[in-house]
Structure 1
Protein backbone atom coordinates (compact mmCIF):
# COMPACT_ATOMS: atom_id res chain seq x y z
CA UNK A 1 0.00 0.00 0.00
CA UNK A 2 1.39 3.37 -1.02
CA UNK A 3 1.82 6.07 1.61
CA UNK A 4 3.15 9.61 1.82
CA UNK A 5 6.72 9.11 2.99
CA UNK A 6 6.94 12.29 5.04
CA UNK A 7 4.77 15.28 5.91
CA UNK A 8 6.36 18.48 7.16
CA UNK A 9 4.17 20.97 9.03
CA UNK A 10 5.48 24.47 8.30
CA UNK A 11 4.49 27.06 10.89
CA UNK A 12 4.16 30.16 8.75
CA UNK A 13 3.53 32.80 11.39
CA UNK A 14 0.65 33.65 13.69
CA UNK A 15 -2.11 36.20 14.08
CA UNK A 16 -4.52 37.04 16.89
CA UNK A 17 -8.29 37.11 16.60
CA UNK A 18 -11.40 36.88 18.71
CA UNK A 19 -13.09 33.49 18.66
CA UNK A 20 -16.39 35.06 17.62
CA UNK A 21 -14.80 35.91 14.26
CA UNK A 22 -13.88 32.25 13.74
CA UNK A 23 -16.72 30.32 15.37
CA UNK A 24 -20.33 31.35 15.82
CA UNK A 25 -21.40 32.04 19.44
CA UNK A 26 -17.89 31.79 20.90
CA UNK A 27 -15.75 34.58 22.35
CA UNK A 28 -12.34 35.35 23.78
CA UNK A 29 -8.89 35.90 22.23
CA UNK A 30 -7.19 33.11 20.32
CA UNK A 31 -3.85 32.67 18.54
CA UNK A 32 -4.22 31.48 14.94
CA UNK A 33 -1.40 29.66 13.09
CA UNK A 34 -1.06 30.25 9.33
CA UNK A 35 0.62 27.04 8.18
CA UNK A 36 1.57 25.19 5.03
CA UNK A 37 2.31 21.48 4.60
CA UNK A 38 5.01 19.86 2.46
CA UNK A 39 4.59 16.20 1.50
CA UNK A 40 7.00 13.74 -0.10
CA UNK A 41 5.55 11.27 -2.61
CA UNK A 42 7.27 8.97 -5.09
CA UNK A 43 6.10 11.27 -7.89
CA UNK A 44 7.36 14.49 -6.33
CA UNK A 45 6.95 17.13 -3.66
CA UNK A 46 3.47 18.43 -2.89
CA UNK A 47 2.79 21.68 -1.05
CA UNK A 48 -0.57 22.44 0.56
CA UNK A 49 -1.12 26.22 0.80
CA UNK A 50 1.63 28.85 0.90
CA UNK A 51 0.91 30.90 4.04
CA UNK A 52 1.56 34.58 4.58
CA UNK A 53 3.44 36.81 2.15
CA UNK A 54 7.20 36.81 2.85
CA UNK A 55 7.23 40.63 2.59
CA UNK A 56 5.24 40.70 5.82
CA UNK A 57 8.33 39.51 7.68
CA UNK A 58 9.96 42.84 6.87
CA UNK A 59 6.91 45.11 7.22
CA UNK A 60 3.53 43.54 7.95
CA UNK A 61 1.72 46.88 7.83
CA UNK A 62 3.09 47.74 4.40
CA UNK A 63 1.99 44.31 3.15
CA UNK A 64 -1.41 43.92 4.78
CA UNK A 65 -2.38 47.45 5.77
CA UNK A 66 -4.79 47.78 8.68
CA UNK A 67 -5.15 43.99 8.95
CA UNK A 68 -1.58 43.78 10.27
CA UNK A 69 -2.34 45.87 13.34
CA UNK A 70 -5.87 44.61 13.92
CA UNK A 71 -4.75 40.97 13.80
CA UNK A 72 -1.25 41.46 15.22
CA UNK A 73 0.30 39.54 12.33
CA UNK A 74 3.62 38.02 13.40
CA UNK A 75 5.95 36.48 10.81
CA UNK A 76 9.70 36.08 11.06
CA UNK A 77 11.95 35.70 8.03
CA UNK A 78 12.74 32.13 9.10
CA UNK A 79 9.02 31.30 9.06
CA UNK A 80 8.59 32.32 5.42
CA UNK A 81 7.72 29.43 3.15
CA UNK A 82 10.86 29.66 1.01
CA UNK A 83 13.20 29.64 4.02
CA UNK A 84 11.42 26.68 5.59
CA UNK A 85 11.62 24.62 2.41
CA UNK A 86 15.30 25.45 2.03
CA UNK A 87 15.96 24.47 5.64
CA UNK A 88 14.59 21.00 4.83
CA UNK A 89 17.20 20.59 2.09
CA UNK A 90 14.99 21.47 -0.89
CA UNK A 91 14.61 24.47 -3.18
CA UNK A 92 11.30 26.13 -4.00
CA UNK A 93 11.88 24.93 -7.58
CA UNK A 94 11.80 21.33 -6.29
CA UNK A 95 8.09 21.61 -5.49
CA UNK A 96 6.16 19.83 -8.23
CA UNK A 97 2.57 20.40 -7.12
CA UNK A 98 0.84 23.13 -5.12
CA UNK A 99 -2.64 22.38 -3.78
CA UNK A 100 -4.60 25.43 -2.66
CA UNK A 101 -7.26 24.64 -0.08
CA UNK A 102 -8.81 27.99 -1.06
CA UNK A 103 -7.52 31.44 -1.95
CA UNK A 104 -7.91 33.68 1.11
CA UNK A 105 -5.00 35.98 1.86
CA UNK A 106 -3.55 33.93 4.75
CA UNK A 107 -3.06 30.95 2.40
CA UNK A 108 -1.83 32.60 -0.80
CA UNK A 109 1.12 34.78 0.26
CA UNK A 110 3.85 32.56 -1.18
CA UNK A 111 2.21 31.35 -4.39
CA UNK A 112 4.46 33.51 -6.57
CA UNK A 113 7.50 31.51 -5.40
CA UNK A 114 6.45 28.38 -7.33
CA UNK A 115 6.07 29.31 -11.04
CA UNK A 116 7.33 25.87 -12.11
CA UNK A 117 4.69 23.91 -10.19
CA UNK A 118 1.30 22.64 -11.24
CA UNK A 119 -1.39 24.40 -9.18
CA UNK A 120 -4.64 22.71 -8.15
CA UNK A 121 -7.80 24.30 -6.77
CA UNK A 122 -11.45 23.29 -6.60
CA UNK A 123 -13.70 24.64 -9.33
CA UNK A 124 -15.33 27.96 -8.55
CA UNK A 125 -12.62 29.25 -6.24
CA UNK A 126 -10.62 31.24 -8.77
CA UNK A 127 -13.73 32.96 -10.09
CA UNK A 128 -14.97 33.81 -6.61
CA UNK A 129 -11.55 35.17 -5.63
CA UNK A 130 -12.00 37.84 -8.31
CA UNK A 131 -15.70 38.50 -7.65
CA UNK A 132 -16.47 37.72 -3.97
CA UNK A 133 -19.66 38.70 -2.22
CA UNK A 134 -19.52 41.98 -0.25
CA UNK A 135 -18.42 41.43 3.33
CA UNK A 136 -16.65 38.12 2.67
CA UNK A 137 -13.18 37.53 4.18
CA UNK A 138 -10.63 39.24 1.95
CA UNK A 139 -8.95 37.80 -1.09
CA UNK A 140 -5.69 39.52 -1.95
CA UNK A 141 -5.24 40.34 -5.62
CA UNK A 142 -1.57 41.11 -5.01
CA UNK A 143 -1.07 37.38 -4.36
CA UNK A 144 -3.32 36.04 -7.10
CA UNK A 145 -2.53 38.30 -10.06
CA UNK A 146 1.15 37.24 -10.34
CA UNK A 147 0.01 33.62 -10.85
CA UNK A 148 -2.29 34.25 -13.82
CA UNK A 149 0.23 32.61 -16.16
CA UNK A 150 0.86 29.63 -13.89
CA UNK A 151 -0.22 26.08 -14.74
CA UNK A 152 -3.57 26.10 -12.93
CA UNK A 153 -5.87 23.07 -12.81
CA UNK A 154 -9.46 23.36 -11.56
CA UNK A 155 -10.90 20.19 -10.06
CA UNK A 156 -14.57 19.48 -10.65
CA UNK A 157 -15.08 16.49 -8.35
CA UNK A 158 -16.29 15.97 -4.77
CA UNK A 159 -13.42 13.56 -4.04
CA UNK A 160 -10.22 13.70 -6.12
CA UNK A 161 -7.58 10.96 -5.76
CA UNK A 162 -4.55 13.10 -6.50
CA UNK A 163 -2.09 10.39 -7.58
CA UNK A 164 -4.59 7.58 -8.14
CA UNK A 165 -3.08 5.51 -5.33
CA UNK A 166 -5.06 6.75 -2.33
CA UNK A 167 -2.15 8.59 -0.72
CA UNK A 168 -3.71 12.05 -1.18
CA UNK A 169 -7.42 12.65 -1.61
CA UNK A 170 -8.71 16.17 -2.06
CA UNK A 171 -12.24 16.66 -0.72
CA UNK A 172 -14.50 19.46 -1.90
CA UNK A 173 -15.81 21.05 1.30
CA UNK A 174 -17.75 24.17 0.24
CA UNK A 175 -19.03 26.63 2.79
CA UNK A 176 -16.15 28.79 3.93
CA UNK A 177 -15.70 29.56 0.24
CA UNK A 178 -17.23 27.97 -2.88
CA UNK A 179 -14.07 25.98 -3.58
CA UNK A 180 -12.84 25.24 -0.08
CA UNK A 181 -11.16 21.83 0.26
CA UNK A 182 -9.72 19.45 2.83
CA UNK A 183 -6.98 16.90 2.18
CA UNK A 184 -6.79 13.27 3.33
CA UNK A 185 -3.17 12.15 3.74
CA UNK A 186 -2.29 8.47 4.11
CA UNK A 187 0.81 8.10 6.26
CA UNK A 188 2.53 4.98 7.51
CA UNK A 189 1.14 5.63 10.97
CA UNK A 190 -2.43 6.21 9.78
CA UNK A 191 -4.70 8.66 8.03
CA UNK A 192 -4.83 12.34 8.85
CA UNK A 193 -7.26 14.85 7.36
CA UNK A 194 -5.89 18.36 6.98
CA UNK A 195 -9.22 20.11 7.40
CA UNK A 196 -7.95 23.51 6.26
CA UNK A 197 -10.80 26.03 6.69
CA UNK A 198 -13.65 23.54 6.67
CA UNK A 199 -13.53 24.38 10.37
CA UNK A 200 -11.39 26.94 12.15
CA UNK A 201 -11.28 25.49 15.66
CA UNK A 202 -11.95 22.03 17.08
CA UNK A 203 -14.69 23.53 19.26
CA UNK A 204 -16.53 24.72 16.17
CA UNK A 205 -16.16 21.35 14.45
CA UNK A 206 -17.46 19.51 17.50
CA UNK A 207 -20.66 21.58 17.65
CA UNK A 208 -21.15 22.18 13.90
CA UNK A 209 -20.67 25.93 14.35
CA UNK A 210 -19.49 27.77 11.22
CA UNK A 211 -17.49 30.95 10.84
CA UNK A 212 -19.98 33.86 10.84
CA UNK A 213 -18.54 35.34 7.63
CA UNK A 214 -18.49 32.06 5.67
CA UNK A 215 -19.68 32.25 2.06
CA UNK A 216 -22.55 29.87 2.87
CA UNK A 217 -23.11 28.87 6.49
CA UNK A 218 -25.48 25.98 5.68
CA UNK A 219 -22.91 24.51 3.30
CA UNK A 220 -20.29 24.96 6.02
CA UNK A 221 -22.34 22.89 8.45
CA UNK A 222 -22.87 20.17 5.84
CA UNK A 223 -19.14 20.08 5.11
CA UNK A 224 -18.22 19.83 8.79
CA UNK A 225 -20.59 16.91 9.22
CA UNK A 226 -19.24 15.26 6.08
CA UNK A 227 -15.70 15.73 7.39
CA UNK A 228 -16.52 13.96 10.64
CA UNK A 229 -18.27 11.12 8.84
CA UNK A 230 -15.29 10.53 6.56
CA UNK A 231 -12.89 10.64 9.50
CA UNK A 232 -14.98 8.01 11.30
CA UNK A 233 -15.06 5.68 8.29
CA UNK A 234 -11.31 6.00 7.66
CA UNK A 235 -10.34 6.03 11.35
CA UNK A 236 -8.56 9.30 10.52
CA UNK A 237 -7.39 12.10 12.78
CA UNK A 238 -8.68 15.57 11.91
CA UNK A 239 -6.11 18.36 12.04
CA UNK A 240 -7.50 21.89 11.93
CA UNK A 241 -4.46 23.94 10.87
CA UNK A 242 -5.75 27.21 12.34
CA UNK A 243 -6.27 25.61 15.78
CA UNK A 244 -3.14 26.31 17.82
CA UNK A 245 -3.88 23.43 20.21
CA UNK A 246 -3.77 20.99 17.30
CA UNK A 247 -0.15 21.92 16.71
CA UNK A 248 0.76 20.59 20.13
CA UNK A 249 -1.51 17.56 19.73
CA UNK A 250 -0.03 16.42 16.41
CA UNK A 251 3.58 16.80 17.49
CA UNK A 252 3.33 13.41 19.15
CA UNK A 253 0.23 11.84 17.62
CA UNK A 254 1.73 10.56 14.36
CA UNK A 255 5.50 10.94 14.72
CA UNK A 256 7.81 10.35 12.89
CA UNK A 257 5.64 10.66 9.78
CA UNK A 258 4.81 14.28 10.65
CA UNK A 259 7.77 16.57 11.24
CA UNK A 260 7.77 20.08 12.66
Structure 2
Protein backbone atom coordinates (compact mmCIF):
# COMPACT_ATOMS: atom_id res chain seq x y z
CA UNK A 1 0.00 0.00 0.00
CA UNK A 2 1.38 3.39 -0.95
CA UNK A 3 1.00 6.58 1.05
CA UNK A 4 1.98 10.22 0.99
CA UNK A 5 4.41 11.75 3.44
CA UNK A 6 1.60 14.04 4.61
CA UNK A 7 -0.71 11.22 5.71
CA UNK A 8 1.99 9.06 7.28
CA UNK A 9 2.87 10.38 10.72
CA UNK A 10 5.12 7.39 11.34
CA UNK A 11 8.04 8.69 9.26
CA UNK A 12 9.52 12.13 8.60
CA UNK A 13 8.37 14.15 5.63
CA UNK A 14 10.56 14.43 2.57
CA UNK A 15 13.05 17.28 2.55
CA UNK A 16 12.87 19.91 -0.25
CA UNK A 17 15.76 18.18 -2.04
CA UNK A 18 14.97 14.65 -0.89
CA UNK A 19 17.07 11.79 -2.30
CA UNK A 20 15.23 8.65 -3.39
CA UNK A 21 16.67 5.23 -4.18
CA UNK A 22 15.90 2.62 -6.80
CA UNK A 23 15.29 -0.89 -5.45
CA UNK A 24 15.38 -4.00 -7.62
CA UNK A 25 14.70 -7.52 -6.39
CA UNK A 26 17.31 -10.19 -7.12
CA UNK A 27 16.87 -13.93 -7.39
CA UNK A 28 19.29 -15.55 -4.96
CA UNK A 29 18.29 -19.20 -4.79
CA UNK A 30 15.43 -21.21 -3.31
CA UNK A 31 15.02 -23.62 -0.41
CA UNK A 32 12.16 -25.78 0.81
CA UNK A 33 10.56 -25.15 4.20
CA UNK A 34 8.22 -27.41 6.18
CA UNK A 35 5.29 -25.19 7.10
CA UNK A 36 4.87 -26.73 10.55
CA UNK A 37 8.19 -25.23 11.71
CA UNK A 38 7.20 -21.72 10.74
CA UNK A 39 3.48 -21.03 11.14
CA UNK A 40 0.75 -22.09 13.52
CA UNK A 41 -2.11 -24.30 12.30
CA UNK A 42 0.01 -25.55 9.41
CA UNK A 43 -1.33 -28.07 6.96
CA UNK A 44 0.15 -31.43 8.07
CA UNK A 45 3.15 -32.43 5.98
CA UNK A 46 3.01 -29.36 3.73
CA UNK A 47 6.36 -28.12 2.39
CA UNK A 48 6.88 -25.06 0.23
CA UNK A 49 9.82 -24.15 -1.99
CA UNK A 50 10.43 -20.46 -1.36
CA UNK A 51 12.96 -17.83 -2.50
CA UNK A 52 15.69 -16.25 -0.44
CA UNK A 53 15.33 -12.78 -1.89
CA UNK A 54 18.10 -10.23 -2.22
CA UNK A 55 17.82 -6.60 -3.32
CA UNK A 56 19.91 -4.13 -5.29
CA UNK A 57 19.59 -0.56 -4.01
CA UNK A 58 20.97 2.26 -6.16
CA UNK A 59 21.59 5.53 -4.33
CA UNK A 60 22.42 8.73 -6.27
CA UNK A 61 25.73 9.83 -4.84
CA UNK A 62 27.90 12.80 -5.75
CA UNK A 63 30.75 11.21 -3.77
CA UNK A 64 30.90 8.22 -6.13
CA UNK A 65 32.78 8.43 -9.41
CA UNK A 66 29.94 6.39 -10.91
CA UNK A 67 27.36 8.90 -9.68
CA UNK A 68 25.61 6.04 -7.85
CA UNK A 69 26.38 3.98 -4.76
CA UNK A 70 25.31 0.39 -5.39
CA UNK A 71 24.17 -1.51 -2.31
CA UNK A 72 23.02 -5.13 -2.06
CA UNK A 73 20.87 -6.28 0.85
CA UNK A 74 21.41 -9.98 1.59
CA UNK A 75 23.18 -12.53 -0.61
CA UNK A 76 20.88 -15.56 -0.49
CA UNK A 77 22.31 -19.05 -1.11
CA UNK A 78 25.76 -20.03 -2.35
CA UNK A 79 25.80 -21.25 -5.93
CA UNK A 80 28.44 -23.83 -4.88
CA UNK A 81 26.97 -25.89 -2.06
CA UNK A 82 30.41 -27.32 -1.21
CA UNK A 83 31.17 -23.94 0.35
CA UNK A 84 28.95 -24.81 3.30
CA UNK A 85 30.37 -26.48 6.43
CA UNK A 86 29.40 -30.03 7.50
CA UNK A 87 26.83 -28.86 10.07
CA UNK A 88 25.34 -26.49 7.52
CA UNK A 89 25.21 -29.27 4.94
CA UNK A 90 23.18 -31.38 7.38
CA UNK A 91 20.73 -28.52 7.84
CA UNK A 92 20.53 -27.94 4.08
CA UNK A 93 19.74 -31.62 3.52
CA UNK A 94 16.48 -30.98 5.40
CA UNK A 95 15.64 -28.02 3.16
CA UNK A 96 15.61 -29.87 -0.17
CA UNK A 97 14.91 -29.29 -2.92
CA UNK A 98 17.08 -26.20 -3.23
CA UNK A 99 17.84 -24.05 -6.27
CA UNK A 100 21.29 -22.49 -6.32
CA UNK A 101 21.18 -20.69 -9.66
CA UNK A 102 20.75 -17.92 -10.44
CA UNK A 103 22.50 -16.57 -7.38
CA UNK A 104 23.04 -12.87 -6.67
CA UNK A 105 26.10 -12.58 -8.93
CA UNK A 106 24.29 -14.21 -11.85
CA UNK A 107 21.18 -12.07 -11.27
CA UNK A 108 23.25 -8.90 -11.31
CA UNK A 109 25.07 -9.97 -14.47
CA UNK A 110 21.79 -10.73 -16.23
CA UNK A 111 20.85 -7.07 -15.76
CA UNK A 112 24.21 -5.67 -16.86
CA UNK A 113 26.00 -5.35 -13.51
CA UNK A 114 29.05 -7.19 -12.20
CA UNK A 115 29.57 -8.08 -8.52
CA UNK A 116 32.61 -5.79 -8.66
CA UNK A 117 30.21 -2.88 -9.28
CA UNK A 118 28.75 -3.27 -5.79
CA UNK A 119 29.98 -0.77 -3.21
CA UNK A 120 28.18 -2.00 -0.09
CA UNK A 121 26.69 -5.31 1.06
CA UNK A 122 24.41 -5.24 4.11
CA UNK A 123 23.48 -8.64 5.55
CA UNK A 124 20.22 -8.92 7.44
CA UNK A 125 21.92 -11.72 9.41
CA UNK A 126 24.39 -14.55 8.87
CA UNK A 127 22.26 -17.68 8.52
CA UNK A 128 23.44 -19.92 5.66
CA UNK A 129 20.64 -18.90 3.28
CA UNK A 130 21.45 -15.18 3.48
CA UNK A 131 25.26 -15.04 3.39
CA UNK A 132 25.69 -16.27 -0.20
CA UNK A 133 29.17 -15.93 -1.70
CA UNK A 134 30.85 -12.85 -0.18
CA UNK A 135 34.08 -13.47 -2.11
CA UNK A 136 32.29 -12.37 -5.31
CA UNK A 137 32.10 -8.79 -4.02
CA UNK A 138 35.73 -7.76 -4.14
CA UNK A 139 35.14 -4.00 -3.90
CA UNK A 140 32.30 -3.94 -1.40
CA UNK A 141 32.25 -2.81 2.19
CA UNK A 142 30.25 -5.32 4.27
CA UNK A 143 27.94 -4.08 7.03
CA UNK A 144 26.49 -6.37 9.70
CA UNK A 145 24.39 -5.89 12.81
CA UNK A 146 25.81 -5.60 16.30
CA UNK A 147 27.19 -8.84 17.73
CA UNK A 148 27.47 -10.57 14.37
CA UNK A 149 31.26 -10.90 14.35
CA UNK A 150 31.26 -12.52 17.78
CA UNK A 151 28.48 -14.87 16.65
CA UNK A 152 30.55 -15.93 13.63
CA UNK A 153 33.60 -16.62 15.79
CA UNK A 154 31.98 -18.15 18.87
CA UNK A 155 28.44 -19.21 18.00
CA UNK A 156 25.36 -18.35 20.01
CA UNK A 157 24.80 -21.12 22.52
CA UNK A 158 23.67 -24.73 22.12
CA UNK A 159 20.94 -23.94 19.59
CA UNK A 160 23.34 -21.87 17.45
CA UNK A 161 26.75 -23.59 17.69
CA UNK A 162 29.72 -22.06 15.90
CA UNK A 163 29.67 -24.95 13.42
CA UNK A 164 26.56 -23.41 11.84
CA UNK A 165 28.52 -20.33 10.77
CA UNK A 166 31.55 -19.64 8.58
CA UNK A 167 33.79 -17.50 10.75
CA UNK A 168 36.24 -16.61 7.98
CA UNK A 169 33.71 -15.88 5.28
CA UNK A 170 33.43 -12.11 5.53
CA UNK A 171 36.44 -9.96 4.52
CA UNK A 172 37.27 -8.60 7.99
CA UNK A 173 39.26 -5.63 6.66
CA UNK A 174 36.19 -4.52 4.69
CA UNK A 175 33.54 -5.45 7.27
CA UNK A 176 31.95 -2.95 9.64
CA UNK A 177 29.73 -3.94 12.52
CA UNK A 178 27.01 -1.56 13.64
CA UNK A 179 27.20 -0.38 17.26
CA UNK A 180 25.24 -2.00 20.09
CA UNK A 181 21.67 -0.76 20.38
CA UNK A 182 21.95 0.58 23.90
CA UNK A 183 23.17 3.60 25.82
CA UNK A 184 26.58 3.72 27.41
CA UNK A 185 30.26 4.13 26.70
CA UNK A 186 30.56 0.96 24.57
CA UNK A 187 27.85 2.06 22.15
CA UNK A 188 29.29 5.57 21.94
CA UNK A 189 32.74 4.19 21.19
CA UNK A 190 31.34 2.07 18.36
CA UNK A 191 29.44 5.04 16.98
CA UNK A 192 32.60 7.14 16.87
CA UNK A 193 34.33 4.40 14.88
CA UNK A 194 31.52 3.79 12.38
CA UNK A 195 29.86 7.22 12.14
CA UNK A 196 26.56 5.34 12.47
CA UNK A 197 24.28 6.43 15.30
CA UNK A 198 21.09 4.64 16.34
CA UNK A 199 18.03 6.85 16.72
CA UNK A 200 14.27 6.21 16.95
CA UNK A 201 12.19 6.63 13.80
CA UNK A 202 8.45 6.47 14.14
CA UNK A 203 7.47 3.00 15.31
CA UNK A 204 11.07 1.77 15.33
CA UNK A 205 13.14 2.32 18.50
CA UNK A 206 16.52 2.08 16.76
CA UNK A 207 17.46 3.01 13.19
CA UNK A 208 20.54 4.28 11.38
CA UNK A 209 20.20 6.87 8.62
CA UNK A 210 22.69 5.01 6.44
CA UNK A 211 23.47 7.68 3.84
CA UNK A 212 22.65 10.60 6.13
CA UNK A 213 19.95 11.95 3.80
CA UNK A 214 16.80 10.13 4.92
CA UNK A 215 16.75 7.80 1.94
CA UNK A 216 17.77 4.47 3.52
CA UNK A 217 17.48 3.46 7.16
CA UNK A 218 18.96 0.34 8.74
CA UNK A 219 16.39 -0.86 11.27
CA UNK A 220 17.30 -2.92 14.32
CA UNK A 221 14.97 -5.94 14.07
CA UNK A 222 15.80 -8.17 17.05
CA UNK A 223 14.59 -11.66 17.84
CA UNK A 224 15.50 -13.84 14.88
CA UNK A 225 19.27 -13.99 15.32
CA UNK A 226 21.96 -11.84 16.88
CA UNK A 227 22.54 -8.78 14.68
CA UNK A 228 19.36 -9.14 12.63
CA UNK A 229 18.57 -5.89 10.77
CA UNK A 230 16.07 -4.72 8.17
CA UNK A 231 16.07 -1.83 5.68
CA UNK A 232 13.54 0.96 5.20
CA UNK A 233 13.91 3.03 2.03
CA UNK A 234 12.23 5.93 0.19
CA UNK A 235 11.73 5.00 -3.45
CA UNK A 236 9.59 7.94 -4.59
CA UNK A 237 7.60 10.84 -3.10
CA UNK A 238 5.27 9.23 -0.57
CA UNK A 239 6.51 5.68 -1.28
CA UNK A 240 8.45 3.58 1.20
CA UNK A 241 9.68 -0.03 0.98
CA UNK A 242 10.55 -2.14 4.00
CA UNK A 243 12.87 -5.13 3.47
CA UNK A 244 12.12 -7.46 6.36
CA UNK A 245 14.72 -10.22 6.00
CA UNK A 246 13.72 -13.04 8.35
CA UNK A 247 11.55 -11.01 10.72
CA UNK A 248 9.13 -13.75 9.75
CA UNK A 249 9.15 -16.54 7.18
CA UNK A 250 5.57 -16.26 5.98
CA UNK A 251 3.69 -13.01 5.18
CA UNK A 252 0.59 -14.39 6.91
CA UNK A 253 2.37 -13.81 10.21
CA UNK A 254 2.61 -10.10 9.41
CA UNK A 255 -1.13 -9.96 8.68
CA UNK A 256 -1.88 -12.04 11.82
CA UNK A 257 -3.55 -14.78 9.82
CA UNK A 258 -0.94 -17.09 11.35
CA UNK A 259 1.32 -17.05 14.37
CA UNK A 260 4.94 -18.10 14.92
CA UNK A 261 5.10 -21.87 15.29
CA UNK A 262 6.71 -23.56 18.30
CA UNK A 263 8.26 -27.02 18.17
CA UNK A 264 10.38 -29.40 20.27
CA UNK A 265 13.87 -27.99 20.87
CA UNK A 266 15.36 -31.43 21.53
CA UNK A 267 16.16 -30.43 25.13
CA UNK A 268 12.76 -30.91 26.71
CA UNK A 269 11.42 -27.50 25.80
CA UNK A 270 9.86 -25.55 22.97
CA UNK A 271 11.50 -23.20 20.51
CA UNK A 272 10.76 -21.42 17.25
CA UNK A 273 12.95 -20.58 14.26
CA UNK A 274 13.84 -17.41 16.17
CA UNK A 275 16.51 -17.12 18.85
CA UNK A 276 14.06 -15.19 21.04
CA UNK A 277 10.46 -15.86 20.06
CA UNK A 278 8.93 -13.18 22.28
CA UNK A 279 11.24 -10.47 20.98
CA UNK A 280 10.75 -11.63 17.39
CA UNK A 281 6.97 -11.48 17.82
CA UNK A 282 7.26 -7.90 19.11
CA UNK A 283 9.36 -6.98 16.06
CA UNK A 284 6.78 -8.52 13.70
CA UNK A 285 3.94 -6.73 15.49
CA UNK A 286 5.76 -3.39 15.13
CA UNK A 287 6.37 -3.93 11.39
CA UNK A 288 2.80 -5.11 10.81
CA UNK A 289 1.37 -1.95 12.32
CA UNK A 290 3.35 0.46 10.13
CA UNK A 291 1.05 2.37 7.77
CA UNK A 292 1.62 2.99 4.08
CA UNK A 293 4.76 0.92 3.54
CA UNK A 294 5.32 -2.02 1.20
CA UNK A 295 6.83 -4.81 3.28
CA UNK A 296 8.78 -7.62 1.58
CA UNK A 297 10.21 -10.51 3.59
CA UNK A 298 12.99 -12.71 2.27
CA UNK A 299 11.04 -15.94 1.81
CA UNK A 300 7.76 -14.62 0.39
CA UNK A 301 6.98 -16.93 -2.52
CA UNK A 302 3.73 -15.19 -3.44
CA UNK A 303 5.45 -11.78 -3.65
CA UNK A 304 8.10 -13.15 -5.99
CA UNK A 305 5.53 -14.76 -8.26
CA UNK A 306 3.42 -11.58 -8.45
CA UNK A 307 6.32 -9.18 -9.01
CA UNK A 308 8.60 -10.63 -11.67
CA UNK A 309 8.71 -7.30 -13.50
CA UNK A 310 10.25 -5.68 -10.42
CA UNK A 311 13.37 -7.81 -10.51
CA UNK A 312 16.61 -6.27 -11.82
CA UNK A 313 16.76 -4.46 -14.20
CA UNK A 314 13.15 -3.67 -13.23
CA UNK A 315 12.43 -1.95 -9.94
CA UNK A 316 9.99 -1.72 -7.07
Pick aligned residue for 1:224 from 284, 287, 290: 284
Pick aligned residue for 1:244 from 288, 291, 301: 301
Give 1 or 2: higher helix fraction: 1
The equivalent of 1:52 in structure 2 is 77
What's the CA shift for 1:222? Answer: 1.1
Determine if the alignment matches structure 1 residue 82 to structure 2 residue 105. yes
Q: Whose radius of gyration is greater, 1 or 2?
A: 2
Pick aligned residue for 1:21 from 33, 37, 43: 37
What's the CA shift for 1:252? Answer: 6.7
- The normalised TM-score by structure 1 is 0.85
Question: Structure 2 stretches of 5 or more lacking a match?
Answer: 1-17, 62-68, 180-197, 199-205, 262-271
What's the CA shift for 1:115? Answer: 3.3
- After superposition, the Cα gap between the structure-2 partners of 1:122 and 1:115, relative to the gap in structure 1 and judged at 3 Å, is same
- After superposition, the Cα gap between the structure-2 partners of 1:249 and 1:192, relative to the gap in structure 1 and judged at 3 Å, is farther
The equivalent of 2:148 in structure 1 is 125
Pick aligned residue for 1:209 from 259, 262, 279: 259
What's the CA shift for 1:45? Answer: 0.2
Q: Residue 214 of structure 1 contacts residue 220 of structure 1 at CA under 8 Å; is this kept in 2?
A: yes
Identify the range of structure 1 (23-32 vs 42-51) with the bigger mean alpha-carbon deviation: 23-32
What's the CA shift for 1:193? Answer: 0.6
The equivalent of 1:199 in structure 2 is 248
Q: Distance in 2 between matches of 1:150 and 1:210?
A: 37
Pick aligned residue for 2:134 from 103, 111, 114: 111
1:176-210 deviations in Å (ceiling 9; x for gaps) = 01211111121127211111111111112222733
Q: Distance in 1 between matches of 2:169 and 2:274?
A: 26
- After superposition, the Cα gap between the structure-2 partners of 1:188 and 1:256, relative to the gap in structure 1 and judged at 3 Å, is farther
| Equivalences, count | 252
Q: Distance in 2 between matches of 1:253 and 1:10?
A: 9
What's the CA shift for 1:139? Answer: 6.8
Q: Distance in 2 between matches of 1:7 and 1:258?
A: 5
1:72-105 deviations in Å (ceiling 9; x for gaps) = 143254x022122122212211100111101100
Q: Distance in 1 between matches of 2:110 and 2:37?
A: 34
Q: Residue 60 of structure 1 contacts residue 68 of structure 1 at CA under 8 Å; is this kept in 2?
A: no
What's the CA shift for 1:22? Answer: 2.0
- After superposition, the Cα gap between the structure-2 partners of 1:23 and 1:165, relative to the gap in structure 1 and judged at 3 Å, is same
The equivalent of 1:10 in structure 2 is 26
Q: Distance in 2 between matches of 1:160 and 1:236?
A: 18
Q: Residue 104 of structure 1 contacts residue 139 of structure 1 at CA under 8 Å; is this kept in 2?
A: no
